[in-house]
Structure 1
Amino acid sequence: MDMQDFRKDFLEDIKSTAATVGEGTVAAFVKVSTEYLISAEVLPDFIPSFFMGTGKSNRKFRIDGYVLDEFDYTMNLIIADYSGSEENRVVKRSQAIQIFDRLLHFVDEAYGNKLYKEIEISTPCADLVELLRTNRSRIRKYRLLLITDGYMSDRIDVLPSKNIDDVQVECQIWDIERLFKVCFSDMGRQNIEIDFKAYTRKGIPCLEASGATTDEYRSFLCIMPGHALADIYDYFGSQLLEGNVRSFLSTKVAVNKKIRETILKAPNMFFAFNNGVSATAMDLVIENFDDGKYITFAKDFQIINGGQTTASLSNARHKDKVNLESVFVQMKITEIDTDLDKSADLIRNISRSSNSQNKVSDADFFSTHPFHVRMEQISRRLFAPAVGGLQYDTRWFYERARGQYLQAQMRMTKSEKNKFVAQHPKKQLITKTDFAKVRNSWRGLPHIVSRGAQTNFMNFAEWVDTEWLNSDVGFNEKYFQESVALMILFKHTEYIVTHQAWYEQGYRANIVTYSIALLQELIKSQFPEKEVDLQIIWNRQSVPEAITNELINITKAVFETITDPKRETINVTQWCKRETCWTKVKDNKILLNAEIEKVLVDKIEIKSAEKNARKDQKMISGIEAQTKVLEYGSENWKNVMDFAIAKKLVTTDVIVALKLAIQMPIKLPNSHQSKKLIELLEQVNSEGYKIY
C-alpha cells in the first residue's frame, strides 16, 4: 500500500464512518484521524467538542476537540482542515498559521469572561472552557494539533513559537502523509528521536557495559544531567514513557514524595539516593571526546523504568521553581536490535523485569497477555454469518498489536488487498481499547469507560487477568461472538443517539456507554431469570427492533440525567466519570416493553451453552498445547528434561510427560500432559534455561 492508496482508503473510511454513525464528514474525519493518533500514542484519548465563532476584534476562533493528559498536564487542542477532495491539496505555511491562530483565539476567549458567560452550559465546549479555566495554573504545555486531509507544504519547516501565560505552545501539523507514516511505522507509533547535544553540550557521558553485550543488545551506564532529563520530558511529555509503564503510573501511582523531597532538600545527593532510569533505544550514536564516550543521538528512545523520577524532576522545576543544575541521574540505556520481531519481546521483558520492584501485575503488561493471542486466533479462524445478500462470509479482525490491520495489507497486490478487505471489512475491525469499552459497558461500569481509553483499558485488563488466572476456558469462541455482538450493539446505539431530535452534538460517547449499561441493568431487575441473547445479534449481525425501541427511550433518559441542572458536578464530562453519576442513571425507572422478551434467553440455557463452550475451549487449548510440544521437537525436550531434573523442578507426572515428549513422533503426550510441559517451559526459562 503506497501513499495514494492510503489516502484513497482513508477518504473512503471517512465516508463510510459518516454514513454508519450518521454524522457529518468533518466530524467523521476528526473521529478517524484521532483514532489513528490515539493508536500511535500521540494522544492519550480524545473528546469531540466542535465550536466556532467570532470573538473580540472580530477574530475568528474554532475548536474540534481536546484531551488533557493528566499525567504530564499537556492540554491537547485539535482543529480540523478537511475538504474531502480527491485531488491532492497543499496546505501552505500562511494557511497553517491562520488555522492555528483560530485555536489560540479560542483559548484566549475561553480565559476571558465573555465566552465563559455566554456559552450554553451542559455542552462539550462549556466543559472544555471550564476545564481550561480550572486547570490554567496546572497546564504545563499547550499542544495544538492541526489535522488535515491535504499535504503539508515543503516550505513549512519550523512554525513560529508561541506562548500562553508564559506556557509553551507547540504546534503540530498532521497531514495525510504524516498519518500514513505513523500508521505504517515499524513500531506502530510515532518514533521519538533525540539529539542529546540539544540538551547538553557534548551529549550524555556513558560507559559501555562490554561484558553484558550480546547479539540482541548492548548496554551503557550513563550520567544524565537532571535539567536535561526534565527538558526532554517537557518536550516529549508522557510519550517518552513506554506504553505499559505510562498506563501503570497514570492509574496507580502519584508522583513520589520522597523523590521530590530529595530534589528540594538535597539535590546534590540525588544521584546517590535515587534508583535512576532505565531506557531502551535503537541506533545509538556514540562519539569519543578527550574525557570519554558520549551518547549524542537515540532513535525510539523510551523510558521503561523511572517514570516517577522523570516526572518528579520536571514537576519540581515547574511547580517548586527548583534549579536542577546540581541534580544528576544514573541511567541504564539498552540499545536493542532494529529487527522488530526480536526487539518487541525484549523491550517487554526488560520493562517487566525493571518494574518488578513495584507491585506490577500481568494486567499492567496486558499487551503481552495470552488473552490477546487467543482473541486474535479466534478472530482469524471464525467466520461471521453472511447477511444482506452477501454470497461470502466475513471475519471480525481483532488487532492484537497496533496497526496490524493496515500492515497486513502493506505488501499485498491489488487483487490480494481487495480479497482481504472484502473478507475483513474495515467496519469489522476491533481494537483492544474498543473491546475493553464495550465489555466494561456491559459489565455495568460506564463511569470507568467515561474516564478515557487508557484508564478503562487498565481496569478491564485487571479483571481479565484475575479471571484468566482462575480459569482461561471462559474466554472462548462464544465469548468472542458475544463481544462482537456488543460491538454491533455499541455502534448501533451511536447511530440511534445521532438521529434523535434531542441530540445536540455532545456527550455521545457518554450517552452510549451509560445507555448500554442501563439496558443491562433494567433487564437484570425486571427479568431476573433471563439475559439478553447476544447470540441473536451475532447470528443476524444486527440489532433486533425490540432492543432498538428500548434504546430510543433509554438514551433520552440517560441524556436528561447526565445533563440534569441539579447534577453534583457542573462539568458534564467530569460528572460522567463519577460512580455517583452511574447511581443517578440507575435510578431511572423505565418499564421495558414485553416485546423485549423475544430477545431474552433463560439463564439456564446460557449456563448450558457456556459449559459446552468451555469444553470446546479445553479441547482447542489441549490441541494447541500438543501442537506446540510437537513443534518444539524431541531433542529440545531432552535438553529441557536434563535441565529440569538437575534443578529439581519436576514432579513424577511431569517426568512421565517429558519421557513421552523425547520419544516423539512415535509417542505423543496427551493434551493435559502437553499443558504441563508448556508450563514447565516457562518455569525453566525463569530459572535461566534459554529456549530456542
Structure 2
Amino acid sequence: MDELNKFYQTVMQDVVAMQSGDEDGDTQEQIFTRICQEMLSEAGETEDCYLAYDERDFGKKGQHKINGYSLSENYENVDLFITLFNNSSEIKSIPKADIDTAVKRITNFFRKAVYNSYAEEVAESSEIFEFAHTLATYSELKENLIRVNAFILTNGEYKGEIPPSQTISGYSIFYRIIDINFLYKISEQSRVPIELDFNNLDGKSYEIPCLAANIDNPDYEAYIAIIPGECLCSLYHNYGARLLEQNVRSFLQFTGKINKGIRKTINDEPHMFLAFNNGIAATADNIELDETHRYIRCRY
C-alpha cells in the first residue's frame, strides 16, 4: 500500500472514530468537513471555520448546498465549504460532472444569501442563519468584501481542471478543489508551495525589473523589484492570505493607524503608493531570471 492510500485509510478511520464519539450526531460527511477545515487552518489556507450544513431544492435549477464557512475578521474574505464524501474502502476518482454540480450548488447558496432572500426563509435556530443574515444585511461586510473562496472538499481524487472564477453581485468567487492528494500534501509538508510564472499569470505577462543587492552572503540572495499593482492584486486574488502568512501586518487588519493610512492611499491616491510605503518583503525558495534581470518564475 502506497503512502497516499495509507493516509486515506487513516482519514477514514478518523472519521468513523470521531463519529462514534460525536455528541452532536454529525454525519460522516460533516466530520470529514471538520477534519478538512482543521487541516486547512493549520496550513494557513483558512481560519476560524464553522460547520453549517444546509441543502435545498436538489434536482431543481436553484439547488444549493453548504457544509461550512469562514469569515475573516476584517470582512474582506469569505470562505465557503461544500463536501463530496463517499464511504468507500478505496480512493475514488471524482468526475468533472460532480465538481460542476458542487460549483453550482455552493454558488447558488452565496447568490441567495447575498441577495437577502435566503436569510428570510431560514429559521433563526438554524446553524446557517447567522452567517446568511450577515451576508445579506451587514453593511461592513458589503463594503469590505473583496474575495469569496469556494472550497470543494472531497476524500476522492480529482485530476480535472479548476472551475473558472465567477462574479456574483459584484463579488469575485474563486473555486478550489481540496481532494485527498491536496490533504496528503499539507499533512506531510505543512503547506503546498506557491509557484509563480510572471510570463503567464492569469493569461497576462508581467515584466518585473529587479536590482540585485550587493550582499556577500552564501546563505541567500536579495533583490529589489518593482511589481505592478495589477500583478500584485492578481496574486492576492489567487492566493489570498497565503501570500502574507508570515507578515505581521496581515494579522493587524485595518484597525491600526498605519494600516488605515495604507488603505486610504490605495483607495484615494494609488499613484502615491510607492512614495508613501516601503514595499513588501517576500521569501522565495528559488527564482529564475532572464537576461534582462526580470523574474520569470519563483517558488516559495
Query: Which residue of 2 is the match for residue 178 of structure 1?
Result: 182
1:115 is aligned with what amino acid?
A: Y
Q: Aligned to 2:89, what secondary structure does the other structure show? A: coil
1:138 aligns with one of 139, 144, 147 = 144
Cα deviation, residue 207, structure 1: 1.0
Deviations 1:601-624 (A, max 9, x none): xxxxxxxxxxxxxxxxxxxxxxxx
2:86 matched to 1:83?
yes
Q: 1: distance between equivalents of 2:143 and 2:81?
A: 21
Q: 2: distance between equivalents of 1:225 and 1:73?
A: 22
Q: 1: distance between equivalents of 2:193 and 2:16?
A: 30
Residue pairs, 1:418-497, within 5 angstroms: none
2:156 aligns with one of 150, 155, 160 = 150
1:169 is aligned with what amino acid?
A: I
Equivalent pair of 2:84/2:154 in contact (CA under 8 Å): yes
Query: Which residue of 2 is the match for residue 206 of structure 1?
Result: 210
Residue pairs, 1:360-375, within 5 angstroms: none
Query: Which residue of 1 is the match for residue 299 of structure 2?
Result: 299
Deviations 1:445-467 (A, max 9, x none): xxxxxxxxxxxxxxxxxxxxxxx
Q: 1: distance between equivalents of 2:229 and 2:41?
A: 30
TM-score computed with the length of structure 1 as normaliser: 0.40
Equivalent pair of 1:55/1:109 in contact (CA under 8 Å): no
Query: Which residue of 1 is the match for residue 14 of structure 2?
Result: 13
Q: Aligned to 1:14, what secondary structure does the other structure show? A: helix
**Relative to 1, partners in 2 of residues 1:255 and 1:50: Cα closer, same or farther, differing over 3 Å?**
farther
**Relative to 1, partners in 2 of residues 1:145 and 1:264: Cα closer, same or farther, differing over 3 Å?**
closer
**Relative to 1, partners in 2 of residues 1:65 and 1:267: Cα closer, same or farther, differing over 3 Å?**
closer
2:21 is aligned with what amino acid?
A: T
1:168 is aligned with what amino acid?
A: S
Q: Aligned to 2:296, what secondary structure does the other structure show? A: strand
Query: Which residue of 2 is the match for residue 222 of structure 1?
Result: 225
Which has the greater radius of gyration?
A: 1
Cα deviation, residue 265, structure 1: 6.0
Equivalent pair of 2:5/2:90 in contact (CA under 8 Å): no
1:147 is aligned with what amino acid?
A: L
Query: Which residue of 2 is the match for residue 102 of structure 1?
Result: 105
Q: 1: distance between equivalents of 2:49 and 2:261?
A: 33
Q: 2: distance between equivalents of 1:113 and 1:252?
A: 28
Q: 1: distance between equivalents of 2:192 and 2:114?
A: 32
Cα deviation, residue 234, structure 1: 2.4
1:280 is aligned with what amino acid?
A: T
1:297 is aligned with what amino acid?
A: R
Runs of 4+ in 1 over 6 A off after TM superposition: none
Cα deviation, residue 137, structure 1: 4.4
**The structure with more strand, counted as a fraction of residues:** 2
**Relative to 1, partners in 2 of residues 1:57 and 1:147: Cα closer, same or farther, differing over 3 Å?**
closer
**Relative to 1, partners in 2 of residues 1:93 and 1:259: Cα closer, same or farther, differing over 3 Å?**
same
TM-score computed with the length of structure 2 as normaliser: 0.88
Equivalent pair of 2:164/2:174 in contact (CA under 8 Å): no
2:41 is aligned with what amino acid?
A: I
Equivalent pair of 2:147/2:171 in contact (CA under 8 Å): yes
Query: Which residue of 2 is the match for residue 164 of structure 1?
Result: 168
**Relative to 1, partners in 2 of residues 1:261 and 1:59: Cα closer, same or farther, differing over 3 Å?**
closer
Query: Which residue of 2 is the match for residue 525 of structure 1?
Result: none
CA RMSD of aligned residues (A): 2.5
Q: 1: distance between equivalents of 2:59 and 2:32?
A: 29
Residue pairs, 1:586-665, within 5 angstroms: none
**Relative to 1, partners in 2 of residues 1:125 and 1:72: Cα closer, same or farther, differing over 3 Å?**
closer
Cα deviation, residue 203, structure 1: 3.0
**Relative to 1, partners in 2 of residues 1:165 and 1:265: Cα closer, same or farther, differing over 3 Å?**
closer
Cα deviation, residue 117, structure 1: 2.0
Cα deviation, residue 71, structure 1: 4.3
Deviations 1:470-493 (A, max 9, x none): xxxxxxxxxxxxxxxxxxxxxxxx
Equivalent pair of 1:71/1:250 in contact (CA under 8 Å): yes
Q: 2: distance between equivalents of 1:246 and 1:21?
A: 38
2:193 matched to 1:191?
yes
Question: Number of residue pairs matched?
Answer: 292
**Relative to 1, partners in 2 of residues 1:252 and 1:166: Cα closer, same or farther, differing over 3 Å?**
closer
Q: Aligned to 1:18, what secondary structure does the other structure show? A: helix
1:195 is aligned with what amino acid?
A: D
Equivalent pair of 2:77/2:146 in contact (CA under 8 Å): yes
Q: 1: distance between equivalents of 2:32 and 2:96?
A: 22
Query: Which residue of 2 is the match for residue 68 of structure 1?
Result: 71
Q: 1: distance between equivalents of 2:56 and 2:230?
A: 41
Query: Which residue of 2 is the match for residue 287 of structure 1?
Result: 290
Q: Aligned to 1:43, what secondary structure does the other structure show? A: coil
Equivalent pair of 1:143/1:171 in contact (CA under 8 Å): yes
**Relative to 1, partners in 2 of residues 1:267 and 1:174: Cα closer, same or farther, differing over 3 Å?**
closer
Gaps of 5+ in 1: 301-692
Q: Aligned to 1:78, what secondary structure does the other structure show? A: strand
**Relative to 1, partners in 2 of residues 1:183 and 1:252: Cα closer, same or farther, differing over 3 Å?**
farther
Cα deviation, residue 39, structure 1: 0.7
